[in-house]
Amino acid sequence: MELARTGPGEGSTPPRARLNSSAPRQSLNGTWEFRLDQGEWTTIPVPSHWVLEGHGKPAYTNVRYPFAIDPPHPPDENPIGDYRLTFDAADAFLDGAVLRFDGIESAAEIRLNGQLLGTTRGSRLTHEFAADLRATGNVLEVRVAQFSDASYLEDQDMWWLPGIFRDVDLVATPAGGLRDVFAVADFDPGARTGTVTIRTSAPARLRIPELGVDRDVHDSVVPVGTVDPWSAETPRLYAATVSTDVEEISLRLGFRRVEVRDSVLTLNGNPIQFRGVNRHEHHPERGRVVSLADARAELELMKRHHVNAVRTSHYPPAPGFLDLTDELGFYVILECDLETHGFVEVGWRGNPSDDPAWQGAYLDRMQRTVHRDKNHASVVIWSLGNESGTGTNLEAMAAWTRAFDPSRLIHYEHDWASTYVDLYSRMYASHEEVKQIGEEVLTPPPFDATPAELHRRALPFIQCEYAHAMGNGPGGLEEYQDLFDRYPRLAGGFIWEWVEHGLAVTTDGRREIRYGGDFGEDVHDGNFVTDGLVSADREVRPGLTALAHWYAPVRIEVTGSTIRIRNRYDHRDLGHVTFRWRTESADGVLDVPPAAPGRTVEVPLPPRASGPLVTVEAVADDEHVLGSGQLTRFAPTARPAPTTLPDRAAFDPASMRLRTLGGLALDGPMVSLWRAPTDNDRYPGWDEPDLPPYAERWTEAGIDRLRTRLVSADEVDGALRTVHRSAPPGRDFAVDSEFRWHQVSPDALLLDVVVTPRGPWPVEWARLGLDLVVPGAPAGLDWSGLGPGPAYPDLAAGVRYGSWHAEAAELSTPYVRPQESGARRGVRSAVVTTSAGQLRVTVVGEDEIAVTVSPWSRALIASTLHHHELVADGRTYVSLDLAQSGVGTAACGPGVLQRYRLPARLARVSLLLEASAV
Ligand code: GAL
């Protein structure tokens, strides 16, 4: 098997559109014979990846190739899988058929009845081979190499997962049928009319019943009169057929026009904003074998979180996905299967992108990408690939694409000169830089601007990746969204990334989620592969809840007397939205005047909407909430009248830590400044590349292991006063905490806290908290504050004030690699329930705290590598935080923005603590 070529695969028929045809099709999916490396024959399901079916192991790398950079040669250690299927073919396939492979990683040789049909290159690209079949006993043999020359072009940040992992079909190609159809349904925003420009491989009849179209076409332009346009907000599709005497193709036409006007991205004449995500195909058990039902569920979940755009990072998805995005309404950047990122490790020496020997392979990849999905309304942009450096082969791909399909825009991020693309695209650009890019076009270009600069300035800007959703985060979403909303040139962006690529392994009946390095790989990138808004099982991570707020189509602000409602749709009014308000004692529906796309309207706050908390919600017909806002007018919590001095016996005599309250054996409070590092804390922010990550700075300063000394204990103004100094070992900076204890009732203590930093603190804190250990396993938390989910200072959207309850399992987020999580913010009172009793905390006055309740200590969380390895010790760890640092997105992108950092500072709070034992 020849695996060291630089060209495309050979022998397949020219790429064409995926057609929904009346011609017979027979799925060849199912159980195939299989052997690895010429071993014993066994069986395997197709589609699947053999490494997930017990043959070898998956391996994860981000940038680095797991083999030497010696193009076009694959390594000698190169698993080869042999597949064999014997099948019968119905009569319909005997007069012309193709064998269609939608995805084989990484290179295959196809044989039918002993005859070589050809080879494939392009793991996520469709290949078809003309098949001369007999009625019975056809033998299809597919030899698949895990690595090949193609692997140099497929260095995406994901698992290496070989095998026939997408559908295999037999498709009849009847004589007199249609080999290919290319239909562009254009919308003229001025006239509000549509035109179908259609090219068919043979003369055919076009019918669009709803538009009264019934005519012959071949290479034709068909005006269709007034139409409703397609957009992600209004995914209007018209059923059409293209037929010959022997074959009928069904199309769904969405009329739309995507255009750049004065560096603004428009659809149907209106500026649009991508509220997007990057989507890989991933399933925790099946790898990149993702069913249509799973894809639909994913898209519906995205819709519920107001996502309107998907970049198919970094390859074309299984073909049915695009039917769904047409129908459900998503803008799609369809990306070619191409990435050569590993060449960055050698300064891009030998990068195939600039080597003419590879040009055929590059063009073939782009042509396969464009042809297959060219009839989809949702595809508005073609992307040449990801992180492949710069070079003439990319230019050639762009030139071919532009000539073939001028109806769509061309995207490629890695060449910042942007000479051959239609969008200026970057990834993880900081807020300042995005702002500067937004502002750049508001002033005339410099006199000496080169033509290339002038071209780039004329382009709209997108962040094809931003806000890296790894672990607890991403912070900074609000600030990005503000910029996207403020500057017309900024057409939004795509979060990195939608789904985590954790792989599930079941051992002893227990299902565990694994990441890079867990399969014995010697070169790997650890848990960088689990960085999604949803887990591999599609559980919503808190980052998605926050994102949904910023992506929501309706923004509501409630002030003392007014409700401001902003329509953030680009194409729709708010006619389908009901606006409801409610307080604790009343509710009603608002009468809201029509608001055109992008417009804000104001209505008065109804007089009955009085009281401490007013919530206003925009609700769609299906009860889905499209936006909400709140007004809070909380009265300060009264300070209880102190009664007596606390009994000293309740305190540990040496440390003066509280040991018992209401019969419950507590331990605390202890001042705490550290958190179990989040994934973001473990990487240096791109804004501070020369500084170590926060996790290291904190350990270096020693705040993960504060030592506390009792300074004094005395009685002052009827209170027991204890003063404690907490400092890292070997350091002379400290925090002093003064606690004044008052007994309010036998089971209740009032605690006034003042925390004062001492000395020059070399690092910002992670938190400023009071930690208590409570006996018994956590059983739940009730609180009044922001909820229902967790929130951090720069990730505090999508939560609202109310009274909430969380079950024990909801108190922390099961990130694949354990880390700080679960803080409930804006808390004014809380009840922590454990198997041993209850601790009630009420914040006196106007302050709010954050409360984190966990079955694990921070030290344990920080030192445990997988969620399933966390073992609870039967106690409950409670943190009452006076302040917290934000979480940022330093794992890829800027760290915590200055305003969300927590420099050493003085803080005060007064708390009423009540406890009871069961
Ligand atoms: C980008 C890349 C993505 C992913 C991300 C980090 O550079 O395009 O594929 O690696 O970084 O998770």
Instruction: Provide CB contacts within 8 A for 450, sequence distance 6+.
Output: none
Distance 267 CA to ligand 1 centre (A): 28
pLDDT at 804: 98
Compute, in angstroms, the gap from residue 404 CA to the centroid of ligand 1: 29
Per-residue pLDDT for 642 more than 80? Answer: no
311, 416, 465, 679: residue to mutate for ligand 1 pocket, most atoms within 8 A of CB: 465
Q: How many CB atoms are located within 10 Å of the residue 602 CB?
A: 14
Ligand 1 centroid from CA 680, angstroms? 15
pLDDT of the residue at 721: 98
DSSP-assigned states of every residue in 271-330: E--EEEEE----BTTTBT---HHHHHHHHHHHHHTT--EEE-TTS---THHHHHHHHHT-
> Which atom of ligand 1 lies closest to the CA of 314?
9
> How far does CA 887 lie from the centroid of its chain?
16
Q: In the predicted model, what is the mean pLDDT of residues 883-902? A: 98
Of the pLDDT bands very low, low, confident and very high (cuts 50, 70, 90), residue 585 is: very high
Contact present, 577 and 533 (Cβ < 8 Å): no
Nearest CA to ligand 1 atom 10: 157
**Ligand 1 neighbours by CB, cut-off 6 Å:** 62, 157, 314, 386-387, 427, 465, 468, 496, 528, 531, 892
Architecture of the domain made up of 260-549? Alpha-Beta Barrel (3.20)
User: At 610, which amino acid appears?
Assistant: S
CA dist., res. 216 & res. 222, Å (int): 10
Looking at residue 411, what is its pLDDT? 98
Expressed in angstroms and rounded, the spacing between residue 855 Cα and the centre of ligand 1 is 33
Cα–Cα–Cα angle for 82, 341, 69, rounded to 5 degrees: 65
Mention every residue, 6+ apart, whose C-beta is less than 8 A from residue 108.
101, 119, 120, 142, 143, 144, 145, 164
pLDDT value at residue 864: 98
pLDDT digits (tens, 9 = 90+) for 181-227: 999 999 999 999 999 999 999 999 999 999 999 999 999 999 999 99
In this structure, which amino acid lies at residue 173?
A: T
Residue 313 alpha carbon, nearest atom of ligand 1: 9
Measured distance CA(613)–CA(609) in Å, rounded: 9
Report which protein residue has its CA nearest ligand 1's atom 3. 157
Give the Cβ contact number of residue 370 at 10 Å.
Answer: 23
Q: How far is CA 378 from CA 152, 295, 410, 824, in A?
A: 30, 15, 14, 39
DSSP 241: E
Share of the chain above pLDDT 70, in %: 100
Q: How many residues does this entry show for the chain?
A: 918
- Please choose from 60, 62, 340, 386 the residue to mutate so as to test ligand 1's pocket, defined by most ligand atoms within 8 A of CB: 62
What pLDDT score was predicted for residue 427?
Answer: 98
**For ligand 1, what atom is nearest to the CA of residue 413?**
8
Q: What number is the average pLDDT over the span 520-541?
A: 97
776-786 pLDDT, tens digit each: 999 999 999 99
**pLDDT in the model for residue 267:** 98
Does the structure show a pLDDT above 90 at 686? yes
Band (pLDDT 50/70/90 cuts) for residue 362 is very high
Q: Cα–Cα distance between 830 and 841 in angstroms, integer?
A: 5
Which residue has the CA at smallest separation from atom 11 of ligand 1?
Answer: 892
Mean pLDDT computed over 316-342: 98
| Interval 32-42 mean pLDDT | 98
- What pLDDT sits at residue 418? 86
* Ligand 1 atom nearest residue 531's Cα: 12
- Place 318 in a pLDDT band, splitting at 50, 70 and 90: very high
Helix (H) or strand (E) holding 562, with range, is strand 562-567
Ligand 1 midpoint to CA 479 (Å): 21
Looking at the CA of residue 470, tell me the nearest atom of ligand 1. Answer: 12
Q: From the CB of residue 106, how many other CB atoms can be counted at a distance below 10 Å? A: 26
Where do we find the tokens 């009901």?
A: 578
CA–centroid distance, 427 to ligand 1, in Å, is 9
CATH class belonging to 662-704+764-917? mainly beta
Tell whether the model's pLDDT for residue 42 goes beyond 90: yes
| Catalytic one of 128, 465, 479, 500 | 465
State the distance from the centre of ligand 1 to the C-alpha of 766, rounded, in angstroms. Answer: 27
**Confidence band (pLDDT; 50, 70, 90) for 795?**
very high
What is the predicted pLDDT for the residue at 117? 98
The pLDDT tens digits for 68-119 are 999 999 999 999 999 999 999 999 999 999 999 999 999 999 999 999 999 9
| Domain parsing of the chain, residue ranges | 20-172, 181-256, 260-549, 556-625, 662-704+764-917
Instruction: Report the residue among 61, 281, 496 best suited for mutation to probe ligand 1: largest number of ligand atoms under 8 A from its CB.
Output: 496
- Please choose from 64, 154, 157 the residue to mutate so as to test ligand 1's pocket, defined by most ligand atoms within 8 A of CB: 157
Number of neighbouring beta carbons within 10 Å of residue 831: 16
260-549 and 181-256 share a CATH fold: no
Q: Does residue 416 surpass a pLDDT of 90?
A: no
Ligand 1 centroid, distance to 157 Cα (angstroms): 6
Query: Over the stretch 47-73, which tens digit does the pLDDT of each residue have?
Result: 999 999 999 999 999 999 999 999 999
Which ligand 1 atom is at minimum distance from the Cα of 156? 9
Q: Which atom of ligand 1 is nearest to the CA of 62?
A: 10
DSSP β-bridge partners for residue 767: 884
Run of H or E including 203: strand 193-208
Mean pLDDT across the chain, nearest whole number?
A: 97
Catalytic site residue from 387, 500, 521, 914 = 387
CATH number of 20-172, picked from 2.60.120.260, 3.30.2020.30, 1.25.10.10, 2.80.10.50? 2.60.120.260
Question: pLDDT tens-digit profile of 664-682?
Answer: 999 999 999 999 999 999 9
Are the C-beta atoms of residues 860 and 870 closer than 8 Å to each other?
yes
Mean pLDDT across 631-647: 93
Alpha helices (H) along 653-796: 694-701
pLDDT at 288: 98
Write the residue with the smallest CA distance to atom 2 of ligand 1.
Answer: 157
CATH superfamily assigned to domain 181-256 = Immunoglobulins (2.60.40.10)
pLDDT at residue number 128: 98
pLDDT of 271 > 90? The answer is yes
- Collapsed DSSP state (helix, strand, coil) of residue 705: helix
pLDDT digits (tens, 9 = 90+) for 702-724: 999 999 999 999 999 999 999 99
Helix (H) or strand (E) holding 854: strand 849-854
| Cα 381 from chain centroid (whole Å) | 20
Mutate to test the pocket of ligand 1, among 344, 413, 683, 892 (most ligand atoms within 8 A of CB): 892
455 Cα to the center of ligand 1, angstroms: 27
| Ligand 1 atom at shortest distance from the alpha carbon of 464 | 8
Please tell me the distance between residue 468's alpha carbon and the centre of ligand 1 in angstroms.
9
Taking the centre of ligand 1 as the mean of its atom positions, its distance from the CA of residue 167, in whole angstroms, is: 27
For ligand 1, atom 4: residue with the closest CA:
157
- pLDDT top residue among 532 and 623: 532
Of the candidate CATH numbers 2.30.30, 2.40.128, 2.60.40, 3.30.70, the domain formed by 556-625 belongs to 2.60.40
387 tagged catalytic: yes
CB 259, CB 596: distance < 8 Å: no
Give the three-state DSSP class for 360.
helix
Q: Whose CA is nearest to atom 6 of ligand 1?
A: 892
Mutate to test the pocket of ligand 1, among 387, 414, 528, 679 (most ligand atoms within 8 A of CB): 387
More confident residue, 415 or 287: 287
pLDDT digits (tens, 9 = 90+) for 434-459: 999 999 999 999 999 999 999 999 99
Q: What is the pLDDT of residue 622?
A: 86
Angle in degrees, CA 316, 321, 324, rounded to 5: 145
Give the span between the Cα atoms of 589 and 608, in whole angstroms.
12
Condensed to tens digits (0 to 9), the pLDDT of residues 543-584 reads: 999 999 999 999 999 998 999 999 999 999 999 999 999 999
